[in-house]
Structure 1
């Protein structure tokens, strides 16, 4: 047996179909709403959808691996990266330029990109690139790492934030 529902739009018909497939049938067999007539099959008890997860699991805090996966979604390249691109490459596998390729540096030790000749000061700095260290370094590279080779920084905090978020998204 089919329920007959009058609806004004396809959206209402879709909602009725969704409700019928979940086993939530309207109280009346036919709704008197101006518009088109749509037949909706009545849900059988064996057509019911079983839950796929325990609601407590869905609401639980994500683990570190899940958080990393979310953070690894690449952002579009910000306009503030133009200054950086004069010396650095950012795409995975691109060769180094005057400065090292910065793809994937977030969370890594400073001076650790294989094949690039870093200054002794940066190699021995002990820095790990995170929001705080990148912000300080980009603001004044030679202040944070005296003896480093990076000649220029970014004084605008909003542009630094954009650059850091982009680097973070690069995995």
Structure 2
């Protein structure tokens, strides 16, 4: 089974490229021209969202360096401990919606400190794969299409983040404890 999964994962990219080329050929699409046009649009999008990216990265840096993350961790610890969420993963809970690279750094620290097979390591790893970088993603997508009124997107995304955090702890508790 492991060999089969290994072969499938290695062959997936060439298979996908072949499918795209075959589809384009069957539908008489000028593939090179479509690729160049798409690359040009991607470059324009990258330039258009650059201010949003700078703002998100700056906000993450200020959040971490100002000590706000440590303050939030201390304030939330009694509530999350009551809910069964380990205090050690609180920085990840706070960082994951803001920055993927910052959250990855937190996970690396947790796994390095407590080990990958510890309850904290498993919860952190599960949480990392279950949640999204909400503010970064909203900045990218809404910035790309110039959306100013996000309506209920942020509230819904934060509720889904909370659900991912709780589900990570519940699943790891049921499986590993």
Q: TM-score range by the shorter chain?
A: under 0.3
More strand by percentage: 1
More helix by percentage: 2
TM-score scaled to structure 1, two decimals? 0.27
TM-score scaled to structure 2, two decimals? 0.26
